[in-house]
């Protein structure tokens, strides 16, 4: 009986994230391809952006989204963000008025998240349940750009901010130590900054600053 218990313990294999090192300014194509293949297969990744580290997965992939909720201890009201390669992808997932488009164009690529009304093409699980909005990002980061080009669609994203922490995690080794058993891949492209994105709500016909982060807000005050 003891031998059976011992073998059962040995057979147990908890999830351990794979740490993949990628050059921050000149990402190796074969490593980017490997990461994107895992995203397509349903992986939850921790990846660097032009602000801080973030969780990422494929749009509408229910299981990794549920894992983000569990790790961050968030509810259905949590605002997810779509990380897009450029402005051409935004209109598929969000309704953008002319003035809002001009605003976004003037601030991207960069460390901003824009809250916009969602279109019907966007899965409801990603929308704010009351306001039916979605966050949109166009980052300025070579690795993220390479991943988006390879994937061919936006990455569903959420700031890597853990319960009880005031700031997002910024170092891949810290991420591995704290949540390496909770995610599938941690991309090591070196530490990022500590500030999250600046969040601008454009959903009601004017600009409302919801969060002051790395992006400059002086023109809105």
Is the full-model pTM beyond 0.75? yes
Residues 150 and 104 sit within 8 Å (Cβ to Cβ)? no
- What is residue 101's three-state secondary structure? helix
* Phi, psi (rounded to 5 degrees) for 21: -85, 130
Both tokens of 37, joined, read: 């293949």
Q: Which of 83, 107, 108, 106 is nearest to 94 (CA)?
A: 83
- Confirm if 52 and 160 have CB atoms less than 8 A apart: yes
Q: What's 21-220's CATH class?
A: alpha beta
Mean pLDDT of the chain: 89
Report the percent of the chain where pLDDT is more than 90: 70
Kindly report, residue by residue over 76-92, the tens digit of the pLDDT: 778 889 999 999 989 88
Segment 191-198 shows an average pLDDT of: 88
Cα-to-chain-centroid distance, residue 114: 14
Q: Strand 208-211's sheet: what is its strand order?
A: 18-21, 185-188, 45-48, 53-58, 155-159, 81-83, 133-137, 112-117, 198-201, 208-211
Q: What's the pLDDT band for 5 if we cut at 50, 70, 90?
A: very low
Strands (E), 59-118: 81-83, 112-117
The encoded tokens of residue 64 equal 């990794």
For 18-66, how does the pLDDT look when each residue is reduced to its tens digit (9 = 90+)? 999 999 999 999 999 999 999 999 999 999 999 999 999 999 899 999 9
């Amino acid at each position: 009986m003891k031998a059976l218990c011992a073998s059962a313990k040995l057979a147990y294999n908890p999830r351990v994230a794979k740490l993949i090192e990628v050059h921050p300014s000149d990402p190796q194509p074969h490593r980017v391809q490997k990461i994107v293949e895992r995203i397509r297969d349903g992986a939850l990744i921790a990846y660097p952006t032009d602000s801080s580290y973030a969780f990422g997965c494929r749009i509408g992939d229910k299981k990794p989204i549920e894992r983000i909720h569990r790790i961050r201890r968030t509810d259905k009201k949590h605002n997810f963000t779509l990380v897009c390669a450029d402005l051409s992808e935004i209109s598929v997932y969000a309704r953008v008025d002319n003035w809002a488009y001009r605003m976004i164009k003037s601030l991207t690529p960069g460390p901003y998240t824009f809250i916009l009304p969602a279109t019907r093409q966007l899965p409801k699980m990603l929308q704010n349940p009351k306001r039916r909005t979605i966050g949109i990002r166009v980052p300025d980061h070579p690795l993220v750009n390479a991943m988006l080009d390879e994937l061919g669609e936006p990455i569903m994203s959420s700031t890597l901010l853990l319960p009880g922490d005031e700031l997002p995690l910024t170092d891949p080794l810290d991420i591995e130590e704290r949540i390496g058993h909770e995610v599938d891949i941690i991309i090591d492209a070196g530490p990022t900054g500590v500030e999250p994105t600046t969040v601008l709500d454009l959903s009601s016909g004017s600009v409302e600053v919801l969060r002051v982060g790395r992006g400059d807000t002086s023109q809105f005050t």
